Structure 1
Amino acid sequence: MVAMEAVRRLLALRHGRAEDLPAVLADAAPLLGAESAAVLLVDYAQVSLCPLHGSKPGLVEPRQVEGTAAGRCFTTAGDTYEDGFLWLPLLHGAERLGVLELRIKDDADRSDLEVIAALVAELIASRRFYGDAVEHTRRRLPMQLAAEIIWNQLPPLTCAVDGTVVTAVLEPCYDVGGDAFDYAINGDVLHVGLFDTVGHGISASALTTLTLNTYRNARRSGLSLVDTCRSIDKWINSQYPGSFVTALLAELDTTTGRYRRISAGHPAELILRAGRQLPALPVPTTLPLGLGHMINRPPGVAEQQLEPADTLVFYTDGITEARDAAGRQFGPERLSDFMLTALRAGYPAPEIMRRLIHTIVSYEDGELRDDATAAMIQWRRYE
């Protein structure tokens, strides 16, 4: 079968480089009923779809996410066909890497092409850390060192397990230094942390790095939510006395919908249900991380019983304190309205986050005054 020959050629890249993929894919295209095939990866700002480093010049051009068929494929994570071209989403799990662009013939087997797209996504994901081709592709501007440090600490922007989705965004993507997020799904429990470090630049990124890794160490050591908070607080106070990090530390039982969280000096999350916002949980429930030694009581844990299809939105103050030209803040109410409108429109969770961060950047006329980070959890009971 000719499609299997294409698969064999691509699988040979398990021992190759990401930058070798464009040439192998182009050679394999005729075996798939296609005249050409190319990989387009989304840039860090999620504005453009760019040819993978190593693509033959002139073979494929960059595409904008907004207003193009390729962009529609990316934003909907669904196949798109137009004028002889077929675009297929490149998904590593639920993470959107970009699109596979093919000029197809009438006899092309789309089911085979979907398998090829899945294989290409896996190859990119597995090769991305063995060289810099993927990074060269995704960067449209020089990345500052502080941002380099933070991006290398973060998990994939999107994860989905058994109907529960967690997805996040950060801006300015080339200069972020103080904001970060982390998550893990262990058994039936989703762990999520959102962090906003005082300061900016290298010093902030170093403190954020300590915070993220202390959070992971506590989680992987089996500490409770309260003891995890205490551990992070202790290490920040020990290594960076006088500094602090605001945070939301949360756990969600994905079987029952029981949600528990600590607010360490951080704004309350939005809890959205059936087109409306529920009353906010109490904040703060303890002092910012690094300042906990100033009080003698344990961190408080707020709880909420979620219902299927509920949405949680975490955010740093760079989202709600964004200001327009007249000095008006974006604010929690505008954030809630945006989220409810996007949910009613039926956009996928990662696309809602992409649209949110572009709305914030536009609100500040393209020049953010502070790091802006948001994370979104959609809970579905797994049957």
Structure 2
Amino acid sequence: MVRSPEERGVPHSAGARGRLLPLLPALLLLIGLFVGLYTPRDVRPDAILAAAMVSAAALLPLWGTVLTGVGACAVFFGLMVDFDALRDATAYSELATLAAIAAFAVFINRLLSRHAQQLGQVRSVAETAQLAVLHPIPRHLGHVTLESLYVAAAAEARMGGDLYGAIRTPHAVRLLIGDVRGKGLIAMQTAATLLSAFREAAHDAPDLPHLARRLETSMSRYASQYPGVPGSETAERFITALLAEIPDDEPVVRTVTCGHPPPLLLHRGEVRELQLAAPSPPLNLGNLVSDGYRIDLAPFHPGDQLLLYTDGVTETRDRSGAFYPLAERVRSWSGEGPHQLLDHLHRDLIAYSGGELDDDVAALVARRRPSL
């Protein structure tokens, strides 16, 4: 479930503000007319009419900007007629100034429209590239139902490094979620390298610690290809990652954490954060691991769900600066299926942030189905 810009949605309050803002130019025209008719003649509404045209350039399409400019000039000319100022050279000078501002507003409107179009194209290319890296995840792998969510940050048109993957092995389903430090092309290349290594190694690694070591080796080799390259940050990139394994024949989930936020376990209406007894450093910092990777084990029965996520979720802030309380919010949706749960999460994140996310968001839900 990768969210395109059209699917991101906005909260009700943000949508209401978006619908009301285009009315500002018309409101300013009415205020200008009121000021011209009901205040002393030496009080001119020029500044208010000019503000209407400038706001129209930013808020309205071309036709709206043109109509606002024509309306402002018409209001001012009507006031000239009402005040019998048709022979006042100063009044004509002010009318000419308003006409020039109207033309400038049309020019600004075209520039803003072109910039918005170019930004939309860049975002579209970035999201398409992100999709090519992530690949769609099957809805069902063995006895596990899966659903994924990826939402690109609205604040930027840069490619991010959030990633997830799922592989069916002969005896288990293995999951990966990760987040590359930084953004841009290098971050996406790093994410693609890690996903490729995971898709290859997950099939035959005997356990999660071996899988983590193989991923660390792949990322270290990748980083070593760029030593001393001017402007390259690849060697300094690290990836927080979490590996999970849901075996076919045991009602448990095994995890290995490499500097990544702990997953949430949803069990019979309860939501709890899995305790990480032995977290390891992020990938590409494997030289800090002296005693190997350790497995954390938790019960995982039919009907239970596991929510994996990147820090773009928990670091979403509201207007007061408070972080998103993930476990608290998810508790009310714990009875929903994976698709509905992530749909609730997506909409709630948008509402909580006030309409726009400042960081990429990725999440993955795995639900164990009853054995057939």
Q: The TM-score by the shorter chain falls in which range?
A: 0.5 to 0.7
2: CA distance, partners of 1:146 / 1:297: 39
1: CA distance, partners of 2:172 / 2:124: 35
Q: Is the 8 A contact 1:265 1:286 kept in 2?
A: yes
Q: Which residue of structure 1 aligns with residue 4 of structure 2?
A: 44
1:264 to 1:291, Cα distance in 2 relative to 1, 3 A: same
1: CA distance, partners of 2:302 / 2:253: 12
2: CA distance, partners of 1:141 / 1:342: 35
Q: Which residue of structure 1 aligns with residue 288 of structure 2?
A: 294
Matches within 5 A, 1:210-359: 210-240=193-223, 241-278=235-272, 280-282=274-276, 285-330=279-324, 334-344=325-335, 346=336, 348-359=337-348
Amino acid at match of 1:312: L
Q: Which residue of structure 1 aligns with residue 174 of structure 2?
A: 191
Structure 1 residue matching 2:215: 3-state secondary structure: helix
CA shift at 1:286, angstroms? Answer: 1.0
Q: Which residue of structure 1 aligns with residue 152 of structure 2?
A: 172
1:202 to 1:355, Cα distance in 2 relative to 1, 3 A: same
1:266 to 1:153, Cα distance in 2 relative to 1, 3 A: same
Amino acid at match of 1:226: P
Q: Is the 8 A contact 1:233 1:292 kept in 2?
A: yes
Q: Per-residue displacement from partner, 1:61-109 (whole Å, max 9, x unpaired)?
A: xxx999xxxxxxxxxxxxxxxxxxxxxxxxxxxxxxxxxxxxxxxxxxx
Q: Per-residue displacement from partner, 1:299-352 (whole Å, max 9, x unpaired)?
A: 11111121221111111111011001111110xxx32232221233x4x31122
2: CA distance, partners of 1:274 / 1:341: 12
2: CA distance, partners of 1:65 / 1:370: 16
Query: What is the RMSD of the two structures over their aligned residues, measured on CA atoms?
Result: 2.9
Q: Is the 8 A contact 1:255 1:382 kept in 2?
A: no
1: CA distance, partners of 2:242 / 2:248: 18
1: CA distance, partners of 2:131 / 2:356: 20
CA shift at 1:147, angstroms? Answer: 3.5
Amino acid at match of 1:352: L
2: CA distance, partners of 1:279 / 1:146: 33
Q: Is the 8 A contact 1:265 1:285 kept in 2?
A: yes
1:147 to 1:340, Cα distance in 2 relative to 1, 3 A: same
Q: Which residue of structure 1 aligns with residue 371 of structure 2?
A: 382
Amino acid at match of 1:237: S
Q: Bigger shift: 269-278 or 140-149?
A: 140-149
Q: Which has the higher helix share?
A: 2
Q: Which residue of structure 1 aligns with residue 29 of structure 2?
A: none
Q: Per-residue displacement from partner, 1:167-213 (whole Å, max 9, x unpaired)?
A: 11011177551101000122341110001100011111011111111
Amino acid at match of 1:374: A
Amino acid at match of 2:163: A
Q: Which has the higher strand share?
A: 1
Matches within 5 A, 1:201-216: 201-216=184-199
2: CA distance, partners of 1:380 / 1:355: 21
1: CA distance, partners of 2:190 / 2:147: 23
Aligned residue pair count: 251
Q: Per-residue displacement from partner, 1:132-151 (whole Å, max 9, x unpaired)?
A: xxxxxxxx865355433321
Q: Within the alignment, does 1:151 sit opposite 2:140 as a pair?
A: no
Q: Is the 8 A contact 1:198 1:245 kept in 2?
A: yes
Amino acid at match of 2:7: V
CA shift at 1:233, angstroms? Answer: 1.2
Q: Give the ranges of 4+ consecutive aligned residues of structure 1 lying more than 6 Å apart after TM superposition.
A: none
1:239 to 1:375, Cα distance in 2 relative to 1, 3 A: same
CA shift at 1:272, angstroms? Answer: 1.5
1:190 to 1:162, Cα distance in 2 relative to 1, 3 A: closer
Identity %: 23
Q: Is the 8 A contact 1:155 1:183 kept in 2?
A: no
Q: Per-residue displacement from partner, 1:40-60 (whole Å, max 9, x unpaired)?
A: x99635739xxxxxxxxxxxx
2: CA distance, partners of 1:42 / 1:283: 32
1:361 to 1:201, Cα distance in 2 relative to 1, 3 A: farther
1:42 to 1:217, Cα distance in 2 relative to 1, 3 A: closer
Q: Is the 8 A contact 2:305 2:365 kept in 1?
A: yes
Amino acid at match of 1:306: F
In structure 2, the gaps of 5 or more residues are 12-119, 224-234
Q: Which residue of structure 2 aligns with residue 360 of structure 1?
A: 349
TM-score by length of 1: 0.59
